[in-house]
Protein backbone atom coordinates (compact mmCIF):
# COMPACT_ATOMS: atom_id res chain seq x y z
CA UNK A 1 0.00 0.00 0.00
CA UNK A 2 2.82 2.32 0.92
CA UNK A 3 4.50 1.56 -2.43
CA UNK A 4 1.25 2.31 -4.29
CA UNK A 5 0.92 5.69 -2.53
CA UNK A 6 4.54 6.55 -3.32
CA UNK A 7 3.95 5.52 -6.96
CA UNK A 8 0.83 7.72 -7.18
CA UNK A 9 2.71 10.67 -5.61
CA UNK A 10 5.58 10.28 -8.11
CA UNK A 11 3.13 10.02 -11.02
CA UNK A 12 1.26 13.12 -9.84
CA UNK A 13 4.50 15.05 -9.41
CA UNK A 14 5.68 13.99 -12.86
CA UNK A 15 2.32 14.93 -14.39
CA UNK A 16 2.36 18.34 -12.68
CA UNK A 17 5.94 18.93 -13.81
CA UNK A 18 4.97 18.02 -17.39
CA UNK A 19 2.04 20.41 -17.25
CA UNK A 20 4.25 23.18 -15.87
CA UNK A 21 6.80 22.41 -18.54
CA UNK A 22 4.09 22.59 -21.18
CA UNK A 23 2.87 25.88 -19.71
CA UNK A 24 6.40 27.21 -19.77
CA UNK A 25 6.84 25.99 -23.32
CA UNK A 26 3.50 27.53 -24.29
CA UNK A 27 4.50 30.82 -22.61
CA UNK A 28 7.86 30.69 -24.32
CA UNK A 29 6.22 29.85 -27.65
CA UNK A 30 3.70 32.67 -27.23
CA UNK A 31 6.47 35.12 -26.29
CA UNK A 32 8.55 33.97 -29.25
CA UNK A 33 5.55 34.25 -31.59
CA UNK A 34 4.76 37.70 -30.22
CA UNK A 35 8.41 38.69 -30.62
CA UNK A 36 8.43 37.32 -34.17
CA UNK A 37 5.23 39.18 -34.98
CA UNK A 38 6.60 42.44 -33.60
CA UNK A 39 9.83 41.89 -35.50
CA UNK A 40 7.99 41.32 -38.77
CA UNK A 41 5.59 44.23 -38.33
CA UNK A 42 8.07 46.67 -36.84
CA UNK A 43 10.02 47.55 -40.00
CA UNK A 44 6.87 48.27 -42.01
CA UNK A 45 5.40 50.20 -39.10
CA UNK A 46 8.60 52.20 -38.80
CA UNK A 47 8.62 52.77 -42.54
CA UNK A 48 5.01 53.99 -42.51
CA UNK A 49 5.43 56.29 -39.52
CA UNK A 50 8.81 57.86 -40.28
CA UNK A 51 7.24 60.78 -42.13
CA UNK A 52 4.56 61.12 -39.45
CA UNK A 53 7.14 61.12 -36.66
CA UNK A 54 9.18 63.74 -38.49
CA UNK A 55 6.07 65.80 -39.16
CA UNK A 56 5.22 65.59 -35.46
CA UNK A 57 8.78 66.55 -34.48
CA UNK A 58 9.08 69.39 -36.99
CA UNK A 59 6.80 72.36 -36.16
CA UNK A 60 5.54 72.81 -39.74
CA UNK A 61 1.99 73.48 -38.58
CA UNK A 62 3.13 76.26 -36.21
CA UNK A 63 5.36 77.87 -38.84
CA UNK A 64 2.56 77.76 -41.43
CA UNK A 65 0.10 79.21 -38.90
CA UNK A 66 2.48 82.12 -38.21
CA UNK A 67 2.97 82.66 -41.93
CA UNK A 68 -0.79 82.71 -42.62
CA UNK A 69 -1.30 85.17 -39.78
CA UNK A 70 1.40 87.35 -41.36
CA UNK A 71 -0.15 87.07 -44.83
CA UNK A 72 -3.58 88.04 -43.51
CA UNK A 73 -2.16 91.02 -41.63
CA UNK A 74 -0.41 92.32 -44.77
CA UNK A 75 -3.61 91.82 -46.80
CA UNK A 76 -5.30 94.12 -44.25
CA UNK A 77 -2.41 96.65 -44.33
CA UNK A 78 -1.73 95.91 -40.66
CA UNK A 79 2.02 96.24 -40.09
CA UNK A 80 1.75 95.75 -36.34
CA UNK A 81 0.04 92.34 -36.59
CA UNK A 82 2.41 91.40 -39.42
CA UNK A 83 5.37 92.19 -37.16
CA UNK A 84 3.93 90.04 -34.35
CA UNK A 85 3.47 87.14 -36.78
CA UNK A 86 7.02 87.58 -38.12
CA UNK A 87 8.36 87.35 -34.58
CA UNK A 88 6.25 84.23 -33.95
CA UNK A 89 7.78 82.54 -37.01
CA UNK A 90 11.33 83.47 -35.95
CA UNK A 91 10.71 82.11 -32.43
CA UNK A 92 9.25 78.86 -33.76
CA UNK A 93 12.24 78.32 -36.07
CA UNK A 94 14.56 78.41 -33.04
CA UNK A 95 12.68 75.39 -31.61
CA UNK A 96 13.42 73.11 -34.57
CA UNK A 97 15.10 69.89 -33.42
CA UNK A 98 17.65 69.18 -36.14
CA UNK A 99 18.19 65.63 -34.83
CA UNK A 100 14.61 64.73 -35.78
CA UNK A 101 15.24 65.41 -39.49
CA UNK A 102 16.37 62.92 -42.10
CA UNK A 103 19.51 63.75 -44.05
CA UNK A 104 17.51 64.97 -47.08
CA UNK A 105 15.17 67.04 -44.91
CA UNK A 106 18.09 68.57 -43.05
CA UNK A 107 19.75 69.56 -46.33
CA UNK A 108 16.53 71.14 -47.64
CA UNK A 109 15.88 72.88 -44.34
CA UNK A 110 19.44 74.24 -44.08
CA UNK A 111 19.09 75.68 -47.59
CA UNK A 112 16.19 77.90 -46.48
CA UNK A 113 16.41 78.19 -42.67
CA UNK A 114 18.74 81.21 -42.55
CA UNK A 115 16.77 83.26 -45.06
CA UNK A 116 13.44 82.23 -43.57
CA UNK A 117 14.51 83.38 -40.10
CA UNK A 118 16.17 86.57 -41.36
CA UNK A 119 13.09 87.64 -43.36
CA UNK A 120 10.75 86.82 -40.48
CA UNK A 121 12.94 88.89 -38.12
CA UNK A 122 13.02 91.85 -40.56
CA UNK A 123 9.24 91.81 -40.78
CA UNK A 124 9.04 91.56 -36.99
CA UNK A 125 11.36 94.54 -36.50
CA UNK A 126 9.54 96.87 -38.92
CA UNK A 127 5.96 97.21 -37.70
CA UNK A 128 5.78 100.79 -39.02
CA UNK A 129 7.22 100.03 -42.50
CA UNK A 130 4.56 98.09 -44.37
CA UNK A 131 6.27 98.22 -47.77
CA UNK A 132 9.54 97.01 -46.27
CA UNK A 133 7.66 94.12 -44.68
CA UNK A 134 6.14 93.26 -48.05
CA UNK A 135 9.58 93.19 -49.69
CA UNK A 136 10.72 90.60 -47.16
CA UNK A 137 7.43 88.74 -47.51
CA UNK A 138 8.27 88.05 -51.18
CA UNK A 139 11.37 86.08 -50.17
CA UNK A 140 9.70 84.57 -47.11
CA UNK A 141 6.91 83.20 -49.32
CA UNK A 142 9.38 81.47 -51.66
CA UNK A 143 11.04 79.82 -48.66
CA UNK A 144 7.65 78.82 -47.22
CA UNK A 145 6.73 77.12 -50.51
CA UNK A 146 10.00 75.13 -50.30
CA UNK A 147 9.42 74.31 -46.62
CA UNK A 148 5.92 72.98 -47.40
CA UNK A 149 7.36 70.79 -50.20
CA UNK A 150 9.73 69.20 -47.68
CA UNK A 151 7.63 69.02 -44.52
CA UNK A 152 4.05 69.03 -45.77
CA UNK A 153 1.11 71.38 -45.43
CA UNK A 154 0.39 70.89 -41.72
CA UNK A 155 -2.71 68.83 -42.49
CA UNK A 156 -4.66 71.55 -44.30
CA UNK A 157 -5.39 72.42 -47.91
CA UNK A 158 -3.31 75.40 -49.01
CA UNK A 159 -3.19 77.47 -52.20
CA UNK A 160 -0.16 78.90 -53.96
CA UNK A 161 -1.27 82.27 -55.33
CA UNK A 162 0.47 84.66 -57.71
CA UNK A 163 0.30 88.43 -58.08
CA UNK A 164 1.73 89.69 -61.42
CA UNK A 165 2.01 93.28 -60.16
CA UNK A 166 4.04 92.61 -57.01
CA UNK A 167 7.84 92.88 -56.83
CA UNK A 168 8.02 95.87 -59.22
CA UNK A 169 5.97 94.09 -61.86
CA UNK A 170 8.10 90.91 -61.75
CA UNK A 171 5.36 89.09 -59.87
CA UNK A 172 5.45 87.17 -56.59
CA UNK A 173 3.82 84.15 -55.01
CA UNK A 174 2.26 83.68 -51.60
CA UNK A 175 0.61 80.80 -49.76
CA UNK A 176 -3.00 81.04 -48.61
CA UNK A 177 -5.44 78.91 -46.62
CA UNK A 178 -8.43 80.19 -48.63
CA UNK A 179 -9.19 79.92 -52.34
CA UNK A 180 -10.42 83.50 -52.49
CA UNK A 181 -7.63 85.94 -53.42
CA UNK A 182 -6.58 88.22 -50.56
CA UNK A 183 -3.50 89.98 -51.87
CA UNK A 184 -0.86 90.65 -49.17
CA UNK A 185 1.33 92.69 -51.55
CA UNK A 186 -1.25 95.26 -52.59
CA UNK A 187 -3.60 95.08 -49.60
CA UNK A 188 -6.61 97.39 -49.73
CA UNK A 189 -5.40 98.99 -53.00
CA UNK A 190 -6.10 95.83 -55.02
CA UNK A 191 -7.17 93.08 -52.63
CA UNK A 192 -8.30 90.60 -55.30
CA UNK A 193 -5.38 91.01 -57.72
CA UNK A 194 -3.87 87.63 -58.48
CA UNK A 195 -4.79 84.02 -59.18
CA UNK A 196 -4.45 80.54 -57.70
CA UNK A 197 -1.56 78.71 -59.36
CA UNK A 198 -1.55 75.48 -57.33
CA UNK A 199 -3.64 73.65 -54.74
CA UNK A 200 -1.51 71.96 -52.08
CA UNK A 201 -3.25 68.99 -50.44
Q: Where are the domains of the chain?
A: 58-200
pLDDT for res 112: 95
Mean per-residue pLDDT, 89-109: 92
Q: What is the mean pLDDT of residues 18-29?
A: 43
Predicted local distance difference test score (pLDDT) of residue 39: 35
Is a pLDDT exceeding 60 seen at residue 124? yes
- At 60-80, the pLDDT tens digits run 999 999 999 999 999 999 999
What CA dihedral angle connects 105, 108, 113 and 115, to 10 degrees? -170
Amino acid sequence: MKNILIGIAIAATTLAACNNGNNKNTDATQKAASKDTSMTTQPSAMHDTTATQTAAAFPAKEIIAGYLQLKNALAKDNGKDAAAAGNTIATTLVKVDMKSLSEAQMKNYMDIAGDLKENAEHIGANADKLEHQREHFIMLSKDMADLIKTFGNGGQTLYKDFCPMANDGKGAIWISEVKEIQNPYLGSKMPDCGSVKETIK
